[in-house]
Every structure is written in structure tokens, then in C-alpha cells.
Structure 1
Amino acid sequence: MGFWLALGASGVALAAAMPAAAQDTAGVTGEATQVGEIVVTARRRDEALKDVPIAVTVQTGEQLEERGAPDITALQRVTPNLTLQVSRGTNSTLTAFIRGIGQQDPLWGFEPGVGLYIDDVYIARPQGAVLDVFDVERIEVLRGPQGTLYGRNTIGGAIKYVTRGLDFDAPQFRVRAAVGTDNQRDLILSGSVPLAEGLAIGGAVATYDRDGFGRNRFTGADTYNKDVVSGRLTVEARPSSRVLFRLSGDYTEDNSNANHGHRLRPVPAPLQPLVTPAACNLVLDSVYDTCAGLGDDNKVTTKGVSLLAQWDLSDTITLKSITAYRDGETTGRGIDFDNTPAPILDIASSGAVYADDQTSQEFQLQYNGHRLQGVAGLYFLDAVARGQFDTILQAGGITQGTSGSMDTESFAAFGDFSYDLTERLAVSVGARWTQDEREAVVFKANYLGLGSPITGRMVAPVQTLTDYSASATFEEFTPRLSLTYSLNDDLNVYAAYGRGFKSGGFDMRGDATATPSTQDGYDPEIVDSYEIGLKGSLLDRRLRLATAVFHTDYTGQQITTQQVNPAGTGVVSFVDNVGSSTIRGWEFEGQAFLTDRLTASLSLGYVDAEFNEFLAYVPNPAAPPAFVLADVSDSRQFQNTPEWTGNFSLTYDQPLGEYGSLRAIGGVSFRSDASMFETPFPEVDQPAYELYDLSLVYTPPGDRWRVGLHGRNLTDERYRTGAYTFAYTPAAPSTIVFGDSVIGFYGPPRTISLSLDVRF
């Protein structure tokens, strides 16, 4: 920790001593000893990164490939104050937090707090959002609320996945293959072909296969394996120099085995006779192993199509239309919470356990004048999310069936414009009005025996817990204001205010018997953020630095909580507006050419997040099993929000004369301790840890092919990325029916891969 504090102090001193900064760890372009200008679309138009008054980190596709990044979760290593991980109990659902704001629970209808975009198309659900790195130009991480230009559910920030454009001049083809530990076998084919003048077609197909990091000791199947096929096809037409049409379609199918996690406690003695073999009552040696008996089959499919139409009316005015449709479906066995062959606590399903679809339409009018630049537009989204599952409790002899759907219609009008008041001073003003109409159907009931109509057992409920339909409309005005002052041609200072809005809704797992207010739904979240930063370069562009400080007021905070019912009659879920909090922090990013061969990069993030009020339902000792609302802010922490995050890397280029060149990239990333839930649970909360990576990339003369050797997590660190806690409570003996089920989910162990990249 002392090493990282020293790096942080050095960064502060350097930022204070030199009047320059930048907000990006993106790659070096231009001359070999200069930091080149990076162009981003953070404000929906092409701009130099230093001119954007937003905290932005950029990673190009080539940078990610050179580091052997498996998917977009690799961004967590190099981006300050970012948590980007595979969600608990899944292989391809995304958990994203920026500056303490996000969403862990991938429940259908519960909105994420960090928006994900693929080529300016909003992805409304986190399922299938762990995107592999192929056919990608760059990925932009926008930190802080982006409610003006990106709208609802970007209160923490936004992640933009920008795919490669097509080549209209000549055919381009590329083959990338990788083999590695655990029998990794990846193959990516991509390219584009001009069909006629102004017409081109291109795309990519990728297969990712890997044996598991562990195995299911009961069934023998792999755990944490990978079996994914993805493809993208694009047609671009330019009938004139002022008109562009781009039609894109993508498809991903993930057949990786179900991820049931790893049991952290032995099965309680009274329940051990239910478990066969007896060895599955114990805690297994490997954190990647399980004894789950629910089954291993799992399938996630996502697909979509989008049409971009762009017309340059003049040199300053552009009209743009973005039309898109997407849908996804998850089918499988569910999650085995007890991690044993017995159905002590299983989340089982039949058919589609989760499905969603969305249609969106956006119109933009862009203006790019000498002193005035900006964009205005209209946006519409129609999305449906639905799901169903059984919670099976063998020892209790009951099954709790849950099903429901959420229909969302969202409409917004927005605008954001910048005006150069002088040659050095610019002001940016933006605003968005959003209206969300949400309709919910929720059903929850208890059934005697193991199973319900959801899993094919036709039996009537013995107790209906929740059965209602409801609707609500939410509206919000989200402004943004910033001032930017150019200290010189290469560096800027800015101050910004922005508001974010995350829609309200209804709890798809709500138990109206335990908490009748669940039928009233929950209200939106509002974030007001204030930020001051420096962005730019100095020392003849040999050094790029960035620093920003921020203060965030977070109100109406939505928290999802699952806990055992002290009466032992099921799992009780809450989604509540728990109150308010304050988040303060600091970020630093820098990149410097130390010599003409050696480049250093440093990023540091600090977050101080504290609840001012946390209203939660807690068991009512006076009237069990009822619950009572109380302020418990003194005993709550922000989840998935380490106080410190950091990364330090060195890149060394060694020319080999007529034999080409060799590049070495070594890095270490650090995260301080973090809580898995708002209520601390030391057994699963993750202590501080470091990850060490090293890549060697050889490029022969001509730059037509290259070979890379990539090692990630070289010290084989074990670190949790998620958990479930359904612990036995001695004060409520009936909770033993949940099997004292405490399970963890883990990030990848040490992996070594060899890649080959050939371009034609």
C-alpha cells in the first residue's frame, strides 16, 4: 500500500508543479516520441480529447489486443474508479460501477446505473454485455453522470464500444488466433470489401473456447469455461460525399456452462444426510470448484440490427438518424445457491429464465460552426424485460415461484452546445427532458413440494405472496453546464456541473406479504455532480497528464437487497429508495515518453463514499416475521467501490533492425478492499489485491503480422468478483433450511496465451 500512496503523492506533486493535464490512457500516435492527439465522440461529435470537459479514458482495440485483454472487463485494470466485472452466477452479464454508482443485481426490469453503448445504440440490459474485444476501434469510458447527451441510466457514467469502419478503397482481411492455458482456442476473422464505388461490405466472426478453471465435482463438467460464437456484418453506402448509410447486424451465442459459484461454509450437520456424496458437504479446495447438482447447461443469445443514416446538409449542419432493434434470451438451469447435489437452495427455471427486447430511434441535428458547436435531438425507446424462476427449499418442503415482466417506453428531447466566448474561454450548456412510462406484472407464490408450474410441476399455490399489475410515469430535467479555459494550445482547465437520472420502477421479486409497499414501486435516483479538472500535454507533447476532483450528491438511492425470511418461508427481496449519500473523489492519469523507447503510464483513483441516510427493512422483533423501516446508515458501506484503484505500466520498444521490433508491456493494477454488499459481510468482502500482467509482442518488417505472448494475473491471485449470502442465523433457527449458503465467485487465475495476428 505504501508503494501506491507514494505513487499517488508523486502524481499530485507532478500535477501541481506542471500546469497541464489530460484525461486519458489511450495509445500513442503520431511521432515516436510525442503523445498524439486523440479524437473521441464523448459529446456525440468528433472532438480532441483535451477539449472535452468530461473525465474520459480511452483504450484502442490495438492496445487491448497487445495486452491480451479477454473482454471489456479488462478496462477495470487501467481506468480510475471503475468496477467492470462478470456478474455473480453468470458468464456474460456485466456488473459496472463508476465512482461508486452502478448496479450489481442483474434482475430483469432493474435498471443499470452505467450505460453501455455499441456504436451509439444504447444496450438497455446487462445480460450478454460482457463484450469480447474483436472488430473494435476503441472503447471510451465516460465518468460521471451523462444525463444530457446519453440520457436515463447513465448516472454513474457511460461505456462506448466503437466498432471499426469499413475500407472503401481496397479489400482488407485480418486473422487473429490465440492459444493458451486451460486449452484456450480463439479465432477471429475480420475484413471488408468494396463492392462498387461508394459501397462496401465487411464484418467479423469470432469463436472463443476454453476449458474451465475448475470443475463440478458432482457432474464432472467444467466451471468457468468459455464457449462463445460472435459475428457482425456491416454494409456501408456513400451515394455522395454528403450522405452515408450504415446497416449493421450482430449475433452472439454463449454456451458456457452455468456458474454456480463456490461454497465457503460446510453444510450444517442437520442437513448433511441430504447430500450425496458426503464429500460435497465440505468446503472444496479450489475456489473454482463446485458440487452443484442443479445442472450445467446454460445458453445466452443476444442479437441486434441498426441503421445509421447521415446527411451533411452543409459544411456546418448534419442530420443523423439511428434506428435499432435488439433482443436477448437466457435459458438454463439457474443458480445452485447451496452448491450441493441436493436442492437445499436452488434457483431453478424452465424455458426462458430471462428475455428482453428493445426498439430505439434517435434523431440528431449537429452543428459545427466557427465558434458554436453542438447537437440537439429526439430519442425513443420501447423495451420489454421478463423472467421467471423457482426458489426450491428441500428442507422446508416448499418452492417459491416468481415471474413477471417490465415494459418501458421512454421519450427524450436533448441538446448540448458549446460556444467560444473568446479564443481561450468556452462555455457549454446542455439539457435533456426524459419521460419514462413503466408497466409491471409481478407474481410470487409458495408451493408445497419441490417445484412449481415454472419448472413444469402442475400444482396450485398454498400461499400467494404477490400478484399485481401496476404502472407509473417518471419525468426528469437533467441539465449540464461547463466552462473550459485554454491555458495554451496543448492544455485546458475546466469546471463542470451535471445531473443524472435513473428511472424508478417495480421490484420483480417483491414479496407483498412481507413488505406490502412493494406494490407502490420505487422512485428514480438523482445525481448532481460537480467536477474540476485539467487536461492536456506539455514538454513538447512528450507528457500527457490528467487530474480531476469531483463531488457528487446522490439522492433517492435505489438498493436491491435479498435476505432469508426469519420465518424460513423463502427469500425476501427489496428494491428501495434507501435515502441519500455523498461521494467525493480524485482521479489522475498520465502517460510520458521517458526515452525514445520507454513509455510510462499511471492511473490513480480515490473515492470517499458515505451514506447520509439508509432506510432499510429490518426484522421486527416485536412482530416476527414482519419487517420495519429504520435508518441503518451507520452500518452500511458502498458496494463494489474500493477507496483506491491504480495502475502503473511500462512499455519498452526494442528495434531489431532488419528483423523487425519487439515490444514489452508490463503492468500492475491495484484495488483496495471493497464490500460486496451495502451490509458488510467480512467472509465474502474482498481484501486489497494486486494483479501483475506482462506481454511481449514481436512485429517483423512490413507490419503485416505479429506474434504476442501474454501473461495475466502472473502471481495467480485469488480475488472475489461477487457473492451470495444466505447465512444461518442462530436467532432465527428456521433459517437453517437455506443451508447456511454463503458462496463466492472469482476472477480468472493466472493465464498465459500466445496470439498470432495476420493482415492481408
Structure 2
Amino acid sequence: MVNVRTALLLSSGFAALFANASAFAQEIAAEAAVTEASAAQDNENQIIVVTAQKREEKILDIPQSVTVVGGDTLERQNATTFEQYANLVPSLSLNETDPGQSRISLRGVNTGGIASTVAVYVDEIPFGSSSGLLNGGVLASDFDTFDVNRLEVLRGPQGTLYGASSLGGLIKFVTNEPKLGVFDARARAGVEFVDEGDVGYNFNAMFNAPLGDKAAFRASGFYRRNGGYIDAVPNQFPNSVFVDLGILDPLGTSKELNNFNDSDVWGGRGSVLFEPNDQLKIRLTAIAQKIETDGLSDVEVEPETYKPLHDDWTQTVIIPESTSVKYRIYNATIDYDLGFATLTSATAFARNKFKSRQDATLPFGMLFNALYGPYSFLLGIPPVTTSPIGVPIDAGFRLKKFTQEVRLASPSNETFEWLAGAYYTKEDGLVTNLIEAVDLNTGNAFTDPFLAQLFTAELGSKYKELAGFANATWHATDRFDITAGGRLSRNKQSAQQDVGGNFSALQFGCPTPDTGCSLPRAESDETVFTYSISPRFEINDQTAVYARVAKGYRPGGPNVIPLGAPEGFPPNYDADTLTSYELGLKADLDSHVSVDLAAFYNDWNDIQVIGVTPAGDDFNANGGTARSMGIEGTISARPVRGLNLSVNGAYIDAELTEDTPPITGGFDGDQLPWTPKFSFSVNADYDWALSSNIQAFVGGSLRYVGKQKGNINNGEFVGPGGDLNDPDNFVFTPQDKIPDYATLNLRAGAEFGHFSLEAFVRNVTNSHGVTSTTSFTNAELGGNAIPGDGILVGFTQPRTFGLTLTAGL
């Protein structure tokens, strides 16, 4: 089973040994804070301007499904993670384990592959890797939203303007620019109490200062401590093989830890804006963020009922686990008004790092103890050590990414608008795995050369892409326009893998463990064309209907071919492409009701899936076709002054329409993973004046997530043949059935002068919503490695109470 947790160990060739438009965006309430994106307003309505098509446009004029959530709304709802954004964004689905480790999908576009189907941008900066070799699909950005102007979410393929890995859509964080001639400062502090868990707290600060008349500087910083709530309790259980032999397994003694899955998130953002004249604008930005987690937020449960095996929030821990995610992003954006067009240059450099220690003692400790440890007598060989052996896996990931985009955009006018540009990116990536042995009596690594490095692997990769794109809008009449665009992209990739350690001879046929070996270099080269066309008709000044046909893609790439690869092992995999057909309606009715509805059909070809060979070598593959179709939308209303209501929801029917290769385990008709057929949320906020200088508010959000299916499970090889394309060589495990759930959030507060005080409760009913599942089943190594034949499940965070105080100039 491959999910967010196990996918972090997967990269072509080695680690699978151990893997088995929104109306809400209109924010029509006059009381809601006006963002810097507002183009115009009156006492009844705000017109929100967004940059979805790389030019400033009113959201009503954009012929595609777009949700915009203002920064003040994010703060009022204390939304700092993708799970919390989901209250506000239709069709957004999550498979989430821990902070910084999430798989996000839109409109059901998800098969559990390594590469992402949703592009993430910060202003003009693309985040994460486009390659299928660098875990981009499970390391979605988890940027802190303090001092963020707005969140833009574009559903459907965005291949024309945003290129690779945006076949499901785009999430864009738009930060606040420095303000010229203004000194401003704001600070925010809060505390949280997790039910039966630790106390969390956060601090945020921002200041804006002019640098003369033509420049300004803006900086923000934050620190957030997320309280833990998972316990590890002493628990002994016998491994099934040792039970058969009448031997109690000493590896089954877990540590005693309380609330060990706490995490720390900190970072900052700095930006300088220069406007020397009316034609030239230069913005320099640096972003830094780090997320450190002391343990994984999984609970051991029964596989059918999801009832915890022990206490409510517990798991077995032999070796403590941890993760670290680090972002460093630098950007220079230059806009120059040439008169006939604006020239924009966006240059960015990013460094992303991920490190984790995962405990593989339960599924694999028996093997190493039988080969080298106290149970080697079972094989008739002398032990290397008489101490019980624990097996940690230290996984690492590093990405250096340079991007350059240059484009020309005509001024907005009532006849014809155009945009054309070029894009270049270069990525250098490295994925590392170290498997060593530790003495469970002391917790220290063994120094014996047989145990110091059981297995090492380094997968270096390079990705280069060059693309040209163009987009134009023709206003045929005052009420009818057509937008069309295209993008031609070409990418080249290469990968080289080096392996070593004692198991390199067994796993890869290396001649000697000391020197290891290098696997054959892998390369790929492909060209993809994407396009979009969107006619739009205004029924009146407040209502428009549109149609959209668009194509997006996710790059293919090379597979590192292991020594002795079985028949059917693919040397590379192709880009998968998705063509979307969409009809939509947007309307503002009397400034009191806003409607955004869309119906869509997605035709997905050559879907990317993950396979694992009988020897434990993983690879990316293409798996036939899939489709998703549905209806989504948002209705928001302001029936009386101060009261803001919104309902958003989606019905999505997403499934495979062909069998995938047998080793990847998918069948025609299987539901695409982590996509509820039905989901909705209801948001309500009421503001009123307590006095001439005190404004109070109360609000709540109810979110319902319907039944889902878990990951598509790899077929388990049972032989007797060696062909990966012969289904008779495999047995198949059906997808997990994920039950529906609902969460309720409440909030209240008051604003008085330069201060505001807020209180909130998340997950009021303490709902146990399932967000991830993992099992470790390996028949050759003794069956299920989790106590009680259970599985590991991630749940929504327990009920959390919080208080926040904000002060500003």
C-alpha cells in the first residue's frame, strides 16, 4: 500500500523494498476586510481582482472555476493547513499524515503517484518538483498564511499558463506587497489546547517601512508550536512466526511516550519593492520556513472498523520517528510598462530539503535479527550480536530549482487582449536512504561493519524544461468573448543511482558491499502540447455563463533499471494528460446573493501509477485511462447587514476506466483514491457593533466529507512466472473503505481599537475523520507487522480550543 508516508521512501529503483469559482471568493460583505486585490467597492459590494490568468481581472470575468479566499478570512478561521482550507474550497481533497506531508488533489485527479497533480505557486514562484523522481506529490507546501493577501485556487487543467503538473489545478499563495510611504506593524499571539494532548502556541509579527519615496520594505515572521496528542504505551506482542516457534519476540516492547507527535513550524518572509518611476516596478522577495515533527500522527486501529487497538490515540514505537521539512525561496519580479505591453520577468531559486527517520523494526526487524542477531540460530549461523536489533530508515530529499519566466502582456481593453511568454526551469535532485541497525538495549547504532550500513542508496536526478506559451481574449461583442491559449513544453531528464551496504549484493547484485555499485544511467526526453479555449457570455452585468475545454499534463521520465530486472520492467514512463470539459455559471444577485456553479468531465489518459517488482524495486508506470466528472459550486448570501452565509460543495464520480498493469493493482471501475463522491461545507459569520468602538463577531463552519476509497494497492507477486504483465502472477488487495465524517468549527471575538481578541474551537464534536491509512503486510517476513493485525491510520486533529490576541497600528 502506497500513501503519503510510504511514498516518501519511493523513488525509481530502490526504496520499495520497504514499501509494501467560488462565490465565497466574492466576499461580498462590506464588513469583511477589503484585501489589497480589491479593484473597486461601494457600500454593498466588493469586486475582487485576481491574477489567475497572469493579469489582473475581476473574478466574474474569468471563464473558469476559481475560488479566492482573503487573508483576513484565513486568519479569522485560524486556517493554517490544507485541511482547514478545505472548509472554503470546493473539490479540494486531502491525503494527509503530518505537517508538510500532504497529497492534495482537485476534482478527484489522483492515482497515488509520486508526482503532483496540483501545481503550487507563491506569487510568481512555482514550488516543488515537476519530476516524478522527487516526491512532489506527497510534499505539498504547507506555507504559513500570516500576512498572506489571499489564496487563489484554480480548478481544472492549467497547462497553458502554468505548465507541468497542473493537470488537476493550481493553488496560489499571493503575499502582501510592501506599501510605499506607509509605516505599519502588526503582531499576533495565540495559545491552543488539544483534547487529551499538549498545549500549542504561536507568535506572528509584521512590519512595513518606507525606504524613501520610491521604495518600501515589508517583513513578517512566525513561530507555531503544534501540541502533540499521540501516545506510545508499553506493549508486548508476539510476531506470528516466532509464535509458531514458541518464542516470544523481544522486539515487541514499545517505548512509553506521551504526546510525542508535537511539531514546530517557524520562518519568515522579507520583501523589498522599488518603483523608481511610473513604468518600472521591481520586487525582491525571500521566504524561509522549517517544519520539524517529533513523531508521526498515526494510530493503530482495526482494519475494518478503524477502532483503536489500544487507547484512543496510541501507536507502538520501537524507535522514535521524526521529520524535518525546510523551504528556502528567493524571487525577483520586474514589471516594465512599454506602453503597448507590460514586460514581466520572474526569476526564482528554491531549495527544499526533507529528512525523516522512520521505524522499520516491526516489518523487518525479524529478518535482520534472524540473519545477524539473537535469532540467527534459527538459520544455523553464529550471531553478529546477541542484542536485539532495531531497524531505522533515514530518508532524505534535496531539491535545487531555478526558474525563469519572461512574458509580454497587452493592456486590458474592450476589444483584444494578449499575452505571450517563455519559461525555463532546471532542477537538481537527490534522494537518499540509509538503513542501519541499532541496539534496542541502548538505542545506539552498531559499529560492527556488518550492521553499520545495511543498505545505502543515492538517486541523483536532473530535470530541464523549456516552454513557450501564448494566451488571448477576443471581445467579440459587449457581452461575448473567447479566450484561447496554447503551450509547447519540452523536458529532458536523467537519473543515476548508486547503492551499497550489505544488502546491496542481495537486492541489486553488487559484487561487494564495500564498494557498492552504480545502476545504469536512465534518461528521457519528451515534448507535450497543451491548450485551452473558453467562450464566455454575459447575460447581464451581474451574470455570466462560460464553457471551457483545457488540457494539462504531468511529465513522464526515466526509471532506473535494476540489475536483473524482470520481464516487463519499463525503462521509462510517459507524460499523463488530462482533457477537461467544463460548463459554468457566475452571478451576483442584487449584491446580496452570489452564485458560482460548474459542471465538469475530465478525460485522463496514460495515468501514472507506482509498481514494485518481486525483488523490491519500485518504478513509475503508465496505467491506462481514468475519468472524473461532477458538479461543484458555492452560494453565498448576505440576507441582513453583518450576516454572511456560504455553502460550497461538490459531487465527484472518479474512477479507473481501464485496468492498470497487474503489479500496480488497479481495475476498471475502481474509485480514484481519497476522493469523496459527496462533500460540502457551510460557513456562517455575524458581525455587529457592541459600542461605538467595539465590533463583535461569531461564526461557525460545518464540513462533511463523504465515503472514500483508500490507495490503489500494488499487486503482490506470488509467481511462478516472472512476467510483470501477467496477472496470474499476482494476488490483489482491495482498496480500503474510508468512512464519512463531519467536523464542526466555532469562533467568536471582538475588535476594539487597534486590538482584537478571538476564541475558537476546532472539531467541536471530536470527530475521528480518517485522513490516511498504512499497512505493513509481507507474507515472506511473517505476515502483518502491526500489533493485533492492525493498520496505521491518520485522523483529523482532536478537539482543539484556542485564544488569539492581535495588535496593530
TM-score by length of structure 2 reads 0.79
1:754 equivalenced with 2:791 (yes/no): no
How far, CA to CA, are the matches of 1:283 and 1:57 in structure 2?
A: 40
Distance 1:638 1:512, change over 3 A: farther
1:67 equivalenced with 2:74 (yes/no): no
Distance 1:683 1:367, change over 3 A: closer
Match of 1:278 in 2: none
Distance 1:400 1:641, change over 3 A: farther
CA deviation after TM superposition for structure 1 residue 153, in Å:
0.6
How far, CA to CA, are the matches of 2:710 and 2:499 in structure 1?
A: 27
CA deviation after TM superposition for structure 1 residue 632, in Å:
2.9
Match of 2:429 in 1: 385
Distance 1:534 1:347, change over 3 A: farther
CA contact (8 A) 1:444 1:511 kept: no
Match of 2:375 in 1: none
How far, CA to CA, are the matches of 1:721 and 1:336 in structure 2?
A: 22
Letter paired with 2:580: S
Match of 1:621 in 2: none
How far, CA to CA, are the matches of 1:482 and 1:255 in structure 2?
A: 44
CA contact (8 A) 2:103 2:140 kept: no
Match of 2:126 in 1: 122
Letter paired with 1:166: P
SS in 2 for 1:130: coil
Q: 2:652 aligns with which of 598, 602, 607?
A: 607
CA contact (8 A) 2:128 2:352 kept: no
1:211 equivalenced with 2:227 (yes/no): yes
Percent identity among equivalent residues?
23
CA contact (8 A) 1:72 1:133 kept: no
CA deviation after TM superposition for structure 1 residue 440, in Å:
1.2
How far, CA to CA, are the matches of 1:216 and 1:243 in structure 2?
A: 58
CA contact (8 A) 1:512 1:519 kept: no
1:420 equivalenced with 2:475 (yes/no): yes
1:552 equivalenced with 2:602 (yes/no): yes
How far, CA to CA, are the matches of 1:582 and 1:361 in structure 2?
A: 33
How far, CA to CA, are the matches of 1:719 and 1:461 in structure 2?
A: 47
Q: 1:327 aligns with which of 345, 351, 365?
A: 351
How far, CA to CA, are the matches of 1:643 and 1:587 in structure 2?
A: 11
CA contact (8 A) 2:118 2:166 kept: yes
1:433 equivalenced with 2:437 (yes/no): no
Letter paired with 1:96: I
CA deviation after TM superposition for structure 1 residue 562, in Å:
5.6
How far, CA to CA, are the matches of 1:705 and 1:260 in structure 2?
A: 35
Correspondences of 1:25-40 after superposition (within 5 Å) = 25-30=25-30, 34-40=44-50
CA RMSD of aligned residues (A): 3.3
CA contact (8 A) 1:349 1:389 kept: yes
Match of 1:6 in 2: none
CA deviation after TM superposition for structure 1 residue 128, in Å:
6.5
Match of 1:743 in 2: 792
How far, CA to CA, are the matches of 2:559 and 2:310 in structure 1?
A: 35
Match of 2:312 in 1: 286
How far, CA to CA, are the matches of 1:31 and 1:747 in structure 2?
A: 31
Distance 1:559 1:445, change over 3 A: farther
1:143 equivalenced with 2:192 (yes/no): no
How far, CA to CA, are the matches of 2:474 and 2:322 in structure 1?
A: 56
- What are structure 2's unaligned runs of at least 5 residues? 1-20, 33-42, 130-135, 234-254, 369-388, 439-450, 714-731
Distance 1:653 1:681, change over 3 A: farther
1:321-375 Cα shifts (integer Å, max 9, x gaps): 000000011233235474999898988445x711111000000101123311232
Corresponding residue pairs, total:
688
Distance 1:581 1:608, change over 3 A: same
Q: 2:542 aligns with which of 490, 495, 517?
A: 490
How far, CA to CA, are the matches of 2:46 and 2:454 in structure 1?
A: 61
How far, CA to CA, are the matches of 2:666 and 2:78 in structure 1?
A: 46
CA contact (8 A) 2:92 2:107 kept: yes
Greater strand percent: which structure?
1
How far, CA to CA, are the matches of 2:665 and 2:703 in structure 1?
A: 39
Distance 1:138 1:631, change over 3 A: closer
SS in 1 for 2:692: helix
1:565-596 Cα shifts (integer Å, max 9, x gaps): 5xxx6x45342211001211111211101212
Distance 1:487 1:293, change over 3 A: same
CA deviation after TM superposition for structure 1 residue 481, in Å:
0.4
How far, CA to CA, are the matches of 1:388 and 1:152 in structure 2?
A: 25
Q: 1:112 aligns with which of 111, 116, 131?
A: 116
Correspondences of 1:634-649 after superposition (within 5 Å) = 634=669, 636-649=670-683
CA deviation after TM superposition for structure 1 residue 250, in Å:
1.1
1:538-559 Cα shifts (integer Å, max 9, x gaps): 1x21110011111111000001
CA deviation after TM superposition for structure 1 residue 506, in Å:
3.2
Letter paired with 1:115: A
CA deviation after TM superposition for structure 1 residue 661, in Å:
1.7
CA contact (8 A) 2:710 2:735 kept: no
Correspondences of 1:266-345 after superposition (within 5 Å) = 283-287=309-313, 289-314=314-339, 316-336=340-360, 338=362
CA contact (8 A) 1:92 1:130 kept: yes
CA contact (8 A) 1:24 1:56 kept: no
1:675 equivalenced with 2:709 (yes/no): yes
Q: 1:360 aligns with which of 398, 403, 419?
A: 403
1:525 equivalenced with 2:529 (yes/no): no
Q: 1:173 aligns with which of 178, 185, 193?
A: 185
CA deviation after TM superposition for structure 1 residue 611, in Å:
1.3
CA deviation after TM superposition for structure 1 residue 224, in Å:
2.9
1:478-509 Cα shifts (integer Å, max 9, x gaps): 1110101000011110011000011001357x
How far, CA to CA, are the matches of 1:488 and 1:46 in structure 2?
A: 21
How far, CA to CA, are the matches of 1:331 and 1:300 in structure 2?
A: 7
After superposing the two structures, state which structure 1 stretch, 708-717 or 680-689, moved more. Answer: 680-689
Distance 1:23 1:473, change over 3 A: farther
How far, CA to CA, are the matches of 1:138 and 1:103 in structure 2?
A: 29
After superposing the two structures, state which structure 1 stretch, 21-30 or 163-172, moved more. Answer: 21-30
Match of 1:273 in 2: none
How far, CA to CA, are the matches of 1:339 and 1:630 in structure 2?
A: 21
CA deviation after TM superposition for structure 1 residue 39, in Å:
0.9
1:101 equivalenced with 2:152 (yes/no): no
CA deviation after TM superposition for structure 1 residue 736, in Å:
5.8
CA deviation after TM superposition for structure 1 residue 451, in Å:
12
CA contact (8 A) 1:26 1:60 kept: no
CA contact (8 A) 2:711 2:735 kept: no
CA deviation after TM superposition for structure 1 residue 672, in Å:
0.6
Match of 1:536 in 2: 587
CA deviation after TM superposition for structure 1 residue 445, in Å:
7.1
TM-score by length of structure 1 reads 0.84
Q: 1:689 aligns with which of 741, 748, 770?
A: 741
How far, CA to CA, are the matches of 1:31 and 1:665 in structure 2?
A: 14
After superposing the two structures, state which structure 1 stretch, 118-127 or 316-325, moved more. Answer: 118-127
Letter paired with 1:47: E
How far, CA to CA, are the matches of 1:647 and 1:488 in structure 2?
A: 29
How far, CA to CA, are the matches of 1:286 and 1:305 in structure 2?
A: 43
1:686-735 Cα shifts (integer Å, max 9, x gaps): 201101011102112x4x22111111111111122222222255xx6865
CA deviation after TM superposition for structure 1 residue 252, in Å:
1.1
Distance 1:131 1:450, change over 3 A: farther
CA deviation after TM superposition for structure 1 residue 104, in Å:
4.4
1:26-66 Cα shifts (integer Å, max 9, x gaps): 52354787342111111011100011011111111110110
Match of 1:239 in 2: 276
SS in 2 for 1:96: strand
SS in 2 for 1:223: coil
Distance 1:631 1:461, change over 3 A: farther
1:484-539 Cα shifts (integer Å, max 9, x gaps): 1000011110011000011001357x76646454451111101011101001211x
Match of 1:651 in 2: 685
After superposing the two structures, state which structure 1 stretch, 593-602 or 60-69, moved more. Answer: 593-602
Letter paired with 1:71: T
